[in-house]
Amino acid sequence: MTTFRRRLAEWRLPFLRSSRFVPSARQASLKADSINKPFAQRCQDLVKVIEDFPAKELHAIFPWLVESIFGSLDGVLVGWNLRCLQGRVNPVEYSIAMEFLDPSGPMMKLVYKLQAEDYNFDFPVSYLPGPVKASIQENVLPDSPLYHNKVQFPPTGGLGLNLALNPFEYYMFFFALSLISQKPMPMSLHVRTSDCAYFILVDRYLSWFLPTEGSVPPPFSSSPGGSSPSPAPRTPAMPFASYGLHTSLLKRHISHQTSVNADPASHEIWRSETLLQVFVEMWLHHYSLEMYQKMQSPHAKLEVLHYRLNVSSALHSPAQPSLQALHAYQESFTPTEEHVLVVRLLLKHLHAFANSLKPDQASPSTHSHATSPLEEFKRAAVPRFVQQKLYVFLQHCFGHWPLDASFRAVLEMWLSYLQPWRYAPEKQAQSSDSQPRSVSEKWAPFIQENLLMYTKLFVSFLNRALRTDLGSPKNALMVFRVAKVFAQPNLTEMIQKGEQLFLEPELIIPHRQHRHFTVSSSFLSPWPPVVTDASFKVKSHVYSLEGQDCKYTPMFGPEVRTLILRLAQLITQAKQTAKAISDQCVESPAGHSFLSWLGFGTTDPSSCYTGNDLDEMGQDSVRKTDEYLEKALEYLRQIFRLSEAQLAQLTLALGNARDENGKQQLPDCIVGEEGLILTPLGRYQIINGLRRFEIEYQGDLELQPIRSYEIASLVRALFRLSSAINHRFAGQMAALCSRNDFLGSFCRYHLTEPALSNRHLLSPVGRRQVTSPARGPRLSLRFLGSYRTLLLLLMAFFVASLFCIGPLPCSLFLVLGYLLYAIAMTLLTERGKLHQL
């Protein structure tokens, strides 16, 4: 037996009862009913079974019931499909499911009924998030208290590790994992996440177990005589310090409180703690395995500890590699938009939960032993359980999410976490002049303790914004949203103050830190004295997330300022593009394309650009895009104190001024040995439609690709016919074109194409290939394959029929008219050549 197994054997307490889910007649009957009976009848039967049968019989059907509701962990069975169940689509099933799964509903009564008897259920480790699963399989205990004393090795001949979970934990594991284990919803199914049963259940569970007012409601009575007893926290046989583990908040409260506790929620805080840990572990624990092992290993915690104690590096082992180097490997996991929206709901509720502390309890300086465990939990919920995993989760999303408008969900989740004051009970009313309210100084500690959330992720967003099409209204809105949040009065100053504290020299820290800080490596040890050294707290935050050897890029340093200037330049370019498209839409009437199709306008396919969605969304979208970009540029100017002269200089440096022909200049290029070479800026200009090359077809006109306004089969047939005629009468056509009289000029006008040297060559390579093989006289019938030509012929025959002119006379008139037109064009062409001579 390995050392890991021996430790687990010592820690594991004997369970009162162990469930080996033996099929029973009751379970078989319920399974049959789930197939044959309607949904409403099945739920009524389940409610009756839960109320009438004892826990001894109910514990055998509990795992099957949970799986039938939330689906199987491998995603094969969808269960009740709560992620697609909506009240406006299926109102009856929706109301029944919500009532059954409500925190005060029958299903939770079953959970508490089994909880009172201390039953345990096996949960396969193989279905846990990748980093946790791999860590347990490598005999390394996870950092979260959620897994303490629960790992069970399989019996002889068995396969796989299991977790021994109590009923409440088992239920919440399945509920949380159903969000990510089930297959994504098909794109054809348009479901609004906030209206789904799953989303609303998450909100109800958070409101019930993490209340912003009052205490957590106690479990329901399992018998007429009293309430269900809560299972006592399992006490380990050895301390967890060596693994960085922590016992329950309830144990901490009991061990440090000497007086009789009058708070009824003190014995139920374990449910709130378990709910939060399950949600965080299942939803935010999908990132690099190496990153996970580094974050939870003793060496990572020792790095921070050695820094705090200012211990010489010679007294301990060499530092482990930086956490930053471990970001290279990422788990093959891409969260869905639905996943991100649920996480955002969790963060918003946690802010409201933490901000519900009374003013006299919000500060650790007012902590006393009489404080209830729920109040302690409110203070510790975000920094202890959420901050680290959320930071890595956001980094993963910023680095791997596609460069499209769906990133808005990740963006709003990030911005929600950055603004806890939006969820504070003392929110101020908006001022009458519509000016944003100033961020209070009371939030300075939160900003400093979450400095990387503000600064490093802002730089990551900048790098994304520089690679997106800012002419798109949705992308412009995202830039506007970020700029607006960071431009809130006093927020920039507090972020700058946090950076100054982090960049403060470390030589002066030891004297202050010995006076003001008492090291406590465990979250559950008594509260330390007040940490008055703000610089020390900021450094501890950064080093705990990135490692002590991290390379920090200041948000207000020269590197980021260069990125901001580039972004401002691209915003200006995008504004000009939006204005040009708007002007083009105004100048081009609705029937312009139809007239062009009929031959009364240009048919150049490159005369307009449709590279983004501005054209498709209309003038209102163009106006909104310009407004978003204008306000974003103003906010960036306020945040980074850009002067008007700098912005004016950027505008002049764009080179977007139009030339004398009214067309934009070429994309940004440099001259190389092979001609013009695009710069990175030039590639960006082409991709986003800011500039383009005026490219024309320079090859054989007979062999050019078939256009959308041509009939493909007819063009090919006419080409074969004209090729046969040209091959058969090549000599006669050459003899006619060589004549110097009017007949020769007439034949040259129809049988020869313009010389290649007379065309306007724009390709840098094409200029070096001006010589091309001469083509003799030939007949081209391709114009007859055009929809436009055929429509004009049909219209001519239709008009002639109105005057009682038959098809044959009409054809003669058309031929005669064309001959007169051709004679006139021949005379004009010959006269033009004489003038050129």
% of the chain residues with pLDDT over 90: 28
CB 686 within 8 A of CB 678: yes
Give yes or no for residue 459 having a pLDDT over 80: yes
Per-chain mean pLDDT for the chain: 74
580 lies in the same domain as 723: no
Give domain status of residue 347, yes or no.
no
- Interior angle at CA 58, CA 54 and CA 62, nearest 5: 155
Bigger pLDDT: 97 vs 668: 97
Of 496, 490, 501, 505, the C-alpha closest to 534 is: 501
pLDDT-derived band at 609 (thresholds 50, 70, 90) equals: very low
Q: Specify whether the CB–CB gap between 422 and 352 falls below 8 A.
A: no
In a domain, 451, yes or no: yes
| pLDDT for 234 beyond 60 | no
Among candidate residues 287, 284, 292, the one with its CA nearest the CA of residue 331: 287
Residue 769 has pLDDT above 80, yes or no: no
pLDDT band per the 50, 70, 90 thresholds, residue 645? confident
Domain membership of residue 322 (yes or no) is no
Of 151-160, 271-280, 349-358, the range with the lowest mean pLDDT is 151-160
Average pLDDT, stretch 778-802? Answer: 89
As a whole number, mean pLDDT of residues 346-354 equals 95
Does 537 map to a domain? yes
Residue 345: pLDDT over 90: yes
Same domain (yes/no): 649, 729: no
Q: Specify whether 577 is located in the same domain as 722.
A: no
Between residues 57 and 594, the one the model is more confident about:
57
449, 552: one domain: yes
pLDDT tens for each residue of 703-745: 888 888 899 999 999 999 988 988 888 888 888 888 888 888 8
Does residue 433 carry a pLDDT above 80?
no
Return the SS3 of 45: helix
User: In this structure, is residue 335 part of a structural domain?
Assistant: no
* 753 lies in the same domain as 629: no
Measured CA distances, 560 to 204, 501, 555, 642 (Å): 42, 19, 6, 13
Which stretch, 127-141, 397-411, 761-775, has highest mean pLDDT? 397-411
Whether residue 548 has pLDDT greater than 80: no
Same domain membership, residue 631 and residue 499:
yes
Smallest Cα–Cα separation from 356: which of 456, 534, 211?
211
Q: Is residue 236 part of a domain?
A: no
Instruction: Please write the tens of the pLDDT for every residue from 2-27.
Output: 443 444 344 333 333 334 444 456 66
Clarify whether residues 630 and 747 are in a common domain: no
Q: Are residues 734 and 628 in the same domain?
A: no
Residue-wise DSSP of 468-518: S-TTSHHHHHHHHHHHHHHTSTTHHHHHHHHHHHHHS-GGGHHHHHHHH--
Q: Are residues 649 and 722 in the same domain?
A: no
Q: What DSSP letter does each residue of 655-721 carry, written as one string? A: -----TTS-PPPPSEEEETTEEEE-HHHHHHHHTTS--------S-GGGSPPPTTB-HHHHHHHHHH
Residue 569 — pLDDT band, cuts 50, 70, 90?
confident
Number of domains in the chain: 2
> Do both 452 and 579 map to the same domain?
yes
**What is the torsional sign of CA 105, 109, 110, 112?**
positive
Q: How many CB atoms within 10 Å of residue 492?
A: 19
Is residue 71 included in any domain, yes or no?
A: no
Neighbours of 594 (CB within 10 A): 11
- The residues near 652 (Cβ < 8 Å, ≥ 6 apart) are none
What digits encode the pLDDT tens for the residues 144-199?
788 888 888 776 555 678 899 999 999 999 999 999 887 776 665 677 888 899 99
Do 718 and 644 lie in one domain? The reply is no
Query: In this prediction, what percent of the chain has a pLDDT beyond 70?
Result: 66
Residue 827 has pLDDT above 90, yes or no: no
Residue 588: which residues within 8 A CB-CB, separation 6 or more? Answer: 608
Domain of 734 in residue numbering reads as 712-766+779-835
650 with 542, same domain? yes
Contact, 268 vs 372, CB < 8 A? Answer: no
Show the tokens assigned to 264.
Answer: 């009824």
Evaluate whether 560 touches 459 at the Cβ level (below 8 Å): yes
pLDDT given for residue 315 in this prediction: 33
663 found inside a domain: no
